[in-house]
Amino acid sequence: MKGESAMKKVGVLTGGGDCPGLNPVIRAVVRYAIKENYEVVGIKNGWKGLIEINAVKLDLASVSGILPKGGTIIGTSRTNPYKLDGGVDKVKKNFKSLGLEALIAIGGEDTLGVAAKLYKEGLNVVGAPKTIDNDLSCTDVTFGFDTAINVATEAIDRLHTTAESHNRIMVVEVMGRHAGWIAIESGIAGGADVILIPEIPIDINEVCELLKKRHERGKSFSIVVVAEGAQLKEGDMVKQEEKLDAFGHVRLGGIGHTLGEMIEAKTGYETRVTVLGHIQRGGTPTAFDRVLGTRFGVKAMQLVVAKDYGKMTALQGIAIKAVPMEQAVCKLKTVDMELYDIAKVFFG
Protein backbone atom coordinates (compact mmCIF):
# COMPACT_ATOMS: atom_id res chain seq x y z
CA MET A 1 0.00 0.00 0.00
CA LYS A 2 2.86 2.33 0.81
CA GLY A 3 4.36 1.91 -2.65
CA GLU A 4 0.97 2.40 -4.29
CA SER A 5 0.31 5.68 -2.43
CA ALA A 6 3.66 7.00 -3.66
CA MET A 7 2.64 6.56 -7.29
CA LYS A 8 2.03 9.71 -9.28
CA LYS A 9 -1.41 10.15 -10.82
CA VAL A 10 -2.35 11.28 -14.30
CA GLY A 11 -5.92 11.89 -15.42
CA VAL A 12 -7.28 11.24 -18.89
CA LEU A 13 -10.55 12.45 -20.42
CA THR A 14 -12.27 12.39 -23.79
CA GLY A 15 -14.48 15.32 -24.78
CA GLY A 16 -16.72 16.34 -27.67
CA GLY A 17 -18.01 13.93 -30.29
CA ASP A 18 -16.84 10.34 -30.08
CA CYS A 19 -14.79 8.83 -32.88
CA PRO A 20 -12.87 5.66 -33.75
CA GLY A 21 -9.39 5.70 -32.24
CA LEU A 22 -10.17 7.11 -28.79
CA ASN A 23 -9.77 3.76 -27.07
CA PRO A 24 -6.35 3.09 -28.65
CA VAL A 25 -5.18 6.42 -27.19
CA ILE A 26 -6.54 5.56 -23.73
CA ARG A 27 -4.95 2.11 -23.91
CA ALA A 28 -1.56 3.55 -24.89
CA VAL A 29 -1.71 6.15 -22.11
CA VAL A 30 -2.42 3.47 -19.51
CA ARG A 31 0.22 1.03 -20.79
CA TYR A 32 2.96 3.68 -20.93
CA ALA A 33 1.91 5.26 -17.61
CA ILE A 34 2.16 1.95 -15.77
CA LYS A 35 5.63 1.44 -17.24
CA GLU A 36 6.61 4.82 -15.78
CA ASN A 37 5.05 4.06 -12.36
CA TYR A 38 2.01 6.31 -12.82
CA GLU A 39 -1.55 5.54 -11.79
CA VAL A 40 -4.17 6.54 -14.40
CA VAL A 41 -7.50 8.07 -13.45
CA GLY A 42 -10.17 8.00 -16.14
CA ILE A 43 -12.36 11.10 -15.95
CA LYS A 44 -15.86 10.08 -17.03
CA ASN A 45 -17.79 12.06 -19.66
CA GLY A 46 -15.28 14.75 -20.50
CA TRP A 47 -14.99 17.97 -18.51
CA LYS A 48 -18.30 17.11 -16.86
CA GLY A 49 -16.57 14.31 -14.95
CA LEU A 50 -13.95 16.69 -13.58
CA ILE A 51 -16.66 19.10 -12.46
CA GLU A 52 -18.64 16.34 -10.72
CA ILE A 53 -15.67 14.14 -9.66
CA ASN A 54 -16.87 11.18 -11.68
CA ALA A 55 -13.71 9.15 -12.12
CA VAL A 56 -12.47 5.57 -12.27
CA LYS A 57 -9.05 3.95 -11.94
CA LEU A 58 -7.74 2.58 -15.24
CA ASP A 59 -5.38 -0.39 -15.17
CA LEU A 60 -4.27 -3.15 -17.52
CA ALA A 61 -7.54 -5.03 -17.09
CA SER A 62 -9.53 -1.87 -17.91
CA VAL A 63 -7.88 -1.44 -21.30
CA SER A 64 -7.57 -5.08 -22.27
CA GLY A 65 -9.30 -5.74 -25.60
CA ILE A 66 -10.29 -2.13 -26.33
CA LEU A 67 -7.87 -1.50 -29.23
CA PRO A 68 -10.40 -2.41 -31.98
CA LYS A 69 -13.38 -0.94 -30.14
CA GLY A 70 -14.99 2.28 -31.35
CA GLY A 71 -16.21 5.08 -29.09
CA THR A 72 -14.64 5.72 -25.69
CA ILE A 73 -14.74 3.52 -22.57
CA ILE A 74 -14.76 6.59 -20.31
CA GLY A 75 -17.61 8.39 -22.07
CA THR A 76 -17.75 11.91 -23.44
CA SER A 77 -19.84 15.08 -23.39
CA ARG A 78 -19.86 18.61 -24.82
CA THR A 79 -19.50 20.22 -21.39
CA ASN A 80 -17.75 23.58 -21.29
CA PRO A 81 -16.54 24.55 -17.78
CA TYR A 82 -16.22 28.16 -18.89
CA LYS A 83 -19.97 28.33 -19.59
CA LEU A 84 -21.03 26.90 -16.21
CA ASP A 85 -21.30 28.91 -13.02
CA GLY A 86 -18.24 27.98 -10.97
CA GLY A 87 -17.28 25.33 -13.52
CA VAL A 88 -13.63 26.33 -13.86
CA ASP A 89 -13.15 26.62 -10.09
CA LYS A 90 -14.59 23.13 -9.65
CA VAL A 91 -12.28 21.74 -12.30
CA LYS A 92 -9.24 23.23 -10.56
CA LYS A 93 -10.38 22.13 -7.11
CA ASN A 94 -11.18 18.58 -8.21
CA PHE A 95 -7.93 18.31 -10.15
CA LYS A 96 -6.20 18.77 -6.79
CA SER A 97 -8.62 16.63 -4.77
CA LEU A 98 -8.04 13.70 -7.14
CA GLY A 99 -4.30 14.11 -6.57
CA LEU A 100 -3.50 14.56 -10.25
CA GLU A 101 -0.03 15.57 -11.31
CA ALA A 102 -1.27 16.14 -14.86
CA LEU A 103 -4.25 15.68 -17.16
CA ILE A 104 -4.35 14.37 -20.72
CA ALA A 105 -7.29 15.86 -22.62
CA ILE A 106 -8.26 14.04 -25.82
CA GLY A 107 -10.55 16.03 -28.09
CA GLY A 108 -11.08 18.52 -30.85
CA GLU A 109 -10.97 22.31 -31.02
CA ASP A 110 -13.50 22.77 -28.19
CA THR A 111 -12.05 20.27 -25.71
CA LEU A 112 -8.48 21.36 -26.41
CA GLY A 113 -9.54 25.01 -26.35
CA VAL A 114 -10.64 24.51 -22.74
CA ALA A 115 -7.41 22.61 -22.02
CA ALA A 116 -5.30 25.44 -23.44
CA LYS A 117 -7.09 28.00 -21.24
CA LEU A 118 -6.69 25.84 -18.14
CA TYR A 119 -2.99 25.42 -18.84
CA LYS A 120 -2.59 29.20 -18.98
CA GLU A 121 -4.35 29.34 -15.61
CA GLY A 122 -1.86 26.96 -14.01
CA LEU A 123 -3.09 23.39 -14.64
CA ASN A 124 -0.68 20.76 -15.97
CA VAL A 125 -2.47 19.71 -19.15
CA VAL A 126 -1.41 17.84 -22.29
CA GLY A 127 -3.61 17.37 -25.38
CA ALA A 128 -4.18 14.73 -28.03
CA PRO A 129 -6.08 15.78 -31.19
CA LYS A 130 -9.30 13.97 -32.05
CA THR A 131 -11.79 14.89 -34.74
CA ILE A 132 -13.15 13.14 -37.79
CA ASP A 133 -13.33 16.59 -39.44
CA ASN A 134 -9.50 16.76 -39.50
CA ASP A 135 -9.72 20.52 -38.91
CA LEU A 136 -7.17 21.03 -36.12
CA SER A 137 -4.11 23.07 -37.00
CA CYS A 138 -0.50 21.95 -36.45
CA THR A 139 -1.21 18.28 -37.21
CA ASP A 140 -1.41 16.76 -40.68
CA VAL A 141 -4.04 14.25 -39.62
CA THR A 142 -6.20 13.61 -36.57
CA PHE A 143 -7.19 10.09 -35.62
CA GLY A 144 -10.78 9.21 -36.51
CA PHE A 145 -10.50 10.92 -39.88
CA ASP A 146 -9.17 7.89 -41.75
CA THR A 147 -12.01 5.71 -40.45
CA ALA A 148 -14.59 8.36 -41.37
CA ILE A 149 -13.38 8.75 -44.97
CA ASN A 150 -13.23 4.98 -45.41
CA VAL A 151 -16.83 4.64 -44.19
CA ALA A 152 -17.94 7.49 -46.46
CA THR A 153 -16.04 6.08 -49.44
CA GLU A 154 -17.65 2.67 -49.02
CA ALA A 155 -21.07 4.32 -48.88
CA ILE A 156 -20.35 6.25 -52.10
CA ASP A 157 -19.15 3.05 -53.78
CA ARG A 158 -22.42 1.34 -52.85
CA LEU A 159 -24.52 4.27 -54.04
CA HIS A 160 -22.91 4.16 -57.49
CA THR A 161 -24.61 0.87 -58.33
CA THR A 162 -28.09 1.85 -57.16
CA ALA A 163 -27.79 5.26 -58.84
CA GLU A 164 -26.83 3.61 -62.13
CA SER A 165 -29.61 1.03 -61.85
CA HIS A 166 -32.29 3.70 -61.44
CA ASN A 167 -30.75 6.51 -63.55
CA ARG A 168 -30.74 8.83 -60.57
CA ILE A 169 -28.72 11.65 -59.05
CA MET A 170 -27.52 10.59 -55.60
CA VAL A 171 -26.69 13.34 -53.10
CA VAL A 172 -24.54 12.11 -50.21
CA GLU A 173 -24.32 14.36 -47.14
CA VAL A 174 -21.22 13.76 -45.02
CA MET A 175 -19.95 15.45 -41.86
CA GLY A 176 -17.79 18.56 -41.92
CA ARG A 177 -18.95 21.70 -40.10
CA HIS A 178 -16.42 24.28 -41.25
CA ALA A 179 -13.92 22.13 -43.14
CA GLY A 180 -14.66 19.81 -46.05
CA TRP A 181 -11.89 17.24 -45.57
CA ILE A 182 -14.24 14.24 -45.35
CA ALA A 183 -16.20 15.40 -48.40
CA ILE A 184 -13.15 16.11 -50.56
CA GLU A 185 -11.19 12.94 -49.75
CA SER A 186 -14.11 10.49 -49.76
CA GLY A 187 -15.47 12.23 -52.86
CA ILE A 188 -12.20 11.82 -54.75
CA ALA A 189 -11.77 8.23 -53.53
CA GLY A 190 -15.37 7.35 -54.38
CA GLY A 191 -15.35 8.96 -57.82
CA ALA A 192 -17.97 11.61 -57.03
CA ASP A 193 -19.05 13.82 -59.92
CA VAL A 194 -19.47 16.97 -57.81
CA ILE A 195 -17.98 17.71 -54.37
CA LEU A 196 -19.30 20.62 -52.31
CA ILE A 197 -17.44 21.90 -49.24
CA PRO A 198 -17.90 24.67 -46.63
CA GLU A 199 -14.87 26.56 -47.91
CA ILE A 200 -16.59 27.42 -51.22
CA PRO A 201 -20.23 28.65 -51.39
CA ILE A 202 -22.46 26.50 -53.58
CA ASP A 203 -23.49 27.89 -56.94
CA ILE A 204 -26.54 25.70 -57.61
CA ASN A 205 -26.71 26.72 -61.27
CA GLU A 206 -23.09 25.65 -61.80
CA VAL A 207 -23.79 22.32 -60.07
CA CYS A 208 -26.77 21.65 -62.31
CA GLU A 209 -24.80 22.56 -65.44
CA LEU A 210 -22.09 20.07 -64.49
CA LEU A 211 -24.69 17.36 -64.03
CA LYS A 212 -26.38 18.18 -67.34
CA LYS A 213 -23.05 18.03 -69.21
CA ARG A 214 -22.37 14.62 -67.69
CA HIS A 215 -25.78 13.38 -68.83
CA GLU A 216 -25.21 14.85 -72.29
CA ARG A 217 -22.12 12.63 -72.53
CA GLY A 218 -24.36 9.61 -72.09
CA LYS A 219 -24.14 9.09 -68.35
CA SER A 220 -27.55 8.55 -66.83
CA PHE A 221 -26.58 8.91 -63.15
CA SER A 222 -24.35 11.11 -60.98
CA ILE A 223 -23.01 11.27 -57.42
CA VAL A 224 -22.90 14.57 -55.53
CA VAL A 225 -21.04 14.66 -52.20
CA VAL A 226 -21.75 17.59 -49.88
CA ALA A 227 -20.38 18.48 -46.44
CA GLU A 228 -23.02 19.26 -43.82
CA GLY A 229 -21.56 22.75 -43.32
CA ALA A 230 -21.61 23.72 -47.00
CA GLN A 231 -23.92 26.58 -47.82
CA LEU A 232 -25.52 28.13 -50.85
CA LYS A 233 -24.19 31.46 -52.16
CA GLU A 234 -27.49 33.03 -51.21
CA GLY A 235 -28.01 31.55 -47.77
CA ASP A 236 -26.65 30.30 -44.47
CA MET A 237 -25.81 26.89 -43.06
CA VAL A 238 -28.79 24.55 -43.03
CA LYS A 239 -29.58 23.69 -39.40
CA GLN A 240 -31.66 21.03 -37.69
CA GLU A 241 -32.38 23.42 -34.83
CA GLU A 242 -31.35 26.90 -33.66
CA LYS A 243 -30.38 25.81 -30.13
CA LEU A 244 -26.67 26.24 -29.37
CA ASP A 245 -24.53 23.71 -27.52
CA ALA A 246 -22.10 24.63 -24.72
CA PHE A 247 -19.51 25.76 -27.26
CA GLY A 248 -21.87 27.90 -29.33
CA HIS A 249 -22.47 25.41 -32.15
CA VAL A 250 -25.81 24.77 -33.81
CA ARG A 251 -26.84 21.28 -34.84
CA LEU A 252 -26.26 21.06 -38.58
CA GLY A 253 -27.95 18.80 -41.09
CA GLY A 254 -30.28 19.16 -44.03
CA ILE A 255 -28.14 20.68 -46.78
CA GLY A 256 -28.32 17.35 -48.63
CA HIS A 257 -32.12 17.42 -48.80
CA THR A 258 -32.17 21.12 -49.72
CA LEU A 259 -29.67 20.44 -52.49
CA GLY A 260 -31.54 17.35 -53.71
CA GLU A 261 -34.80 19.25 -54.08
CA MET A 262 -33.10 22.07 -55.97
CA ILE A 263 -31.24 19.74 -58.34
CA GLU A 264 -34.38 17.79 -59.21
CA ALA A 265 -36.37 20.99 -59.76
CA LYS A 266 -33.72 22.58 -61.98
CA THR A 267 -32.64 19.53 -64.01
CA GLY A 268 -35.68 17.27 -64.00
CA TYR A 269 -33.43 14.34 -63.03
CA GLU A 270 -34.79 12.05 -60.33
CA THR A 271 -32.72 12.75 -57.20
CA ARG A 272 -32.32 10.87 -53.92
CA VAL A 273 -30.48 11.89 -50.75
CA THR A 274 -28.44 9.83 -48.28
CA VAL A 275 -27.27 11.37 -45.00
CA LEU A 276 -24.45 9.35 -43.45
CA GLY A 277 -24.48 11.20 -40.13
CA HIS A 278 -23.09 9.38 -37.09
CA ILE A 279 -22.32 6.24 -39.10
CA GLN A 280 -19.06 8.02 -40.00
CA ARG A 281 -17.93 8.31 -36.39
CA GLY A 282 -19.02 4.91 -35.11
CA GLY A 283 -17.63 1.40 -35.23
CA THR A 284 -14.19 -0.14 -35.50
CA PRO A 285 -11.21 2.15 -36.19
CA THR A 286 -9.05 1.46 -39.22
CA ALA A 287 -5.51 0.15 -38.76
CA PHE A 288 -4.20 3.66 -39.49
CA ASP A 289 -6.30 5.19 -36.70
CA ARG A 290 -5.34 2.45 -34.25
CA VAL A 291 -1.66 3.06 -34.90
CA LEU A 292 -1.97 6.87 -34.88
CA GLY A 293 -4.03 6.80 -31.67
CA THR A 294 -1.45 4.53 -30.05
CA ARG A 295 1.40 6.85 -31.07
CA PHE A 296 -0.47 9.88 -29.75
CA GLY A 297 -1.18 8.14 -26.42
CA VAL A 298 2.46 7.19 -25.90
CA LYS A 299 3.65 10.69 -26.86
CA ALA A 300 1.12 12.32 -24.52
CA MET A 301 2.44 10.30 -21.58
CA GLN A 302 6.02 11.06 -22.58
CA LEU A 303 5.15 14.76 -22.36
CA VAL A 304 3.66 14.20 -18.90
CA VAL A 305 6.75 12.33 -17.70
CA ALA A 306 8.95 15.14 -19.06
CA LYS A 307 6.65 17.74 -17.46
CA ASP A 308 6.34 19.37 -20.87
CA TYR A 309 2.82 20.70 -20.37
CA GLY A 310 0.65 22.91 -22.55
CA LYS A 311 1.51 20.83 -25.60
CA MET A 312 -0.55 18.76 -28.04
CA THR A 313 0.64 15.67 -29.85
CA ALA A 314 0.74 16.13 -33.63
CA LEU A 315 1.50 14.14 -36.75
CA GLN A 316 3.82 16.09 -39.03
CA GLY A 317 4.98 14.08 -42.01
CA ILE A 318 5.64 10.68 -40.50
CA ALA A 319 6.87 11.99 -37.13
CA ILE A 320 4.92 12.57 -33.91
CA LYS A 321 5.77 16.03 -32.56
CA ALA A 322 4.69 18.20 -29.65
CA VAL A 323 3.14 21.57 -30.51
CA PRO A 324 1.66 24.31 -28.30
CA MET A 325 -2.05 23.66 -27.74
CA GLU A 326 -2.76 27.35 -28.10
CA GLN A 327 -1.44 27.30 -31.67
CA ALA A 328 -3.39 24.16 -32.54
CA VAL A 329 -6.76 25.67 -31.62
CA CYS A 330 -6.22 29.29 -32.71
CA LYS A 331 -7.62 28.64 -36.19
CA LEU A 332 -9.24 25.80 -38.11
CA LYS A 333 -7.36 23.87 -40.76
CA THR A 334 -9.49 24.07 -43.89
CA VAL A 335 -9.24 22.17 -47.16
CA ASP A 336 -6.12 22.69 -49.23
CA MET A 337 -7.31 24.35 -52.45
CA GLU A 338 -4.69 22.42 -54.44
CA LEU A 339 -6.53 19.25 -53.45
CA TYR A 340 -9.85 20.85 -54.39
CA ASP A 341 -8.45 21.78 -57.81
CA ILE A 342 -7.51 18.13 -58.33
CA ALA A 343 -11.07 17.13 -57.47
CA LYS A 344 -12.48 19.66 -59.96
CA VAL A 345 -10.71 17.89 -62.81
CA PHE A 346 -13.28 15.12 -62.46
CA PHE A 347 -16.43 17.23 -61.84
CA GLY A 348 -19.20 16.43 -64.26
What confidence tens digit (pLDDT) does each residue in 206-264 have?
A: 999 999 999 999 898 999 999 999 999 876 656 565 565 555 555 566 899 999 999 99
Indicate the fold that domain 2-143+285-328 takes in CATH.
Answer: Rossmann fold (3.40.50)
Give the pLDDT score at 137.
93
Span 151-166, mean pLDDT? 94
pLDDT higher than 60, residue 2? no
- Judged against a pLDDT cut of 90, whether residue 124 lies above it is answered with yes
133 is catalytic: yes
pLDDT, the chain, mean: 92
Would you say residue 1 has pLDDT above 60? no
Where does the pLDDT of residue 71 fall: very low under 50, low under 70, confident under 90, or very high at 90 and above?
very high
3-state secondary structure the chain: CHHHHCCEEEEEEECCCCCCCHHHHHHHHHHHHHHCCEEEEEECCCHHHHHHCCEEEECHHHHCCCCCCCCCCCCCCCCCHHHCCCHHHHHHHHHHHCCEEEEEEEECHHHHHHHHHHHHCCCCEEEEEECCCCCECCCCCCECHHHHHHHHHHHHHHHHHHHHHHCCEEEEEECCCCCCHHHHHHHHHCCCCEEECCCCCECHHHHHHHHHHHHHCCCCCEEEEEECCCCECCCCCCEEEEEECCCCCEEECCHHHHHHHHHHHHHCCCEEEEECHHHHHCCCCCHHHHHHHHHHHHHHHHHHHCCCCCEEEEEECCEEEEEEHHHHCCCECCCCHHHHHHHHCCCC
For 281-285, what is the mean pLDDT?
93
The one catalytic residue in 85, 89, 110, 133 is 133
Fold of 145-282: Rossmann fold (3.40.50)
pLDDT beyond 50 at 298:
yes
What confidence tens digit (pLDDT) does each residue in 192-202 have?
999 999 999 99
Query: At 7, is the pLDDT very low, low, confident or very high (cuts 50, 70, 90)?
Result: confident
**Domain edges within the chain:** 2-143+285-328, 145-282
pLDDT higher than threshold 50 for residue 332: yes
2-143+285-328 and 145-282: same fold?
Answer: yes
Give the pLDDT band of residue 189 (cuts 50, 70, 90).
very high
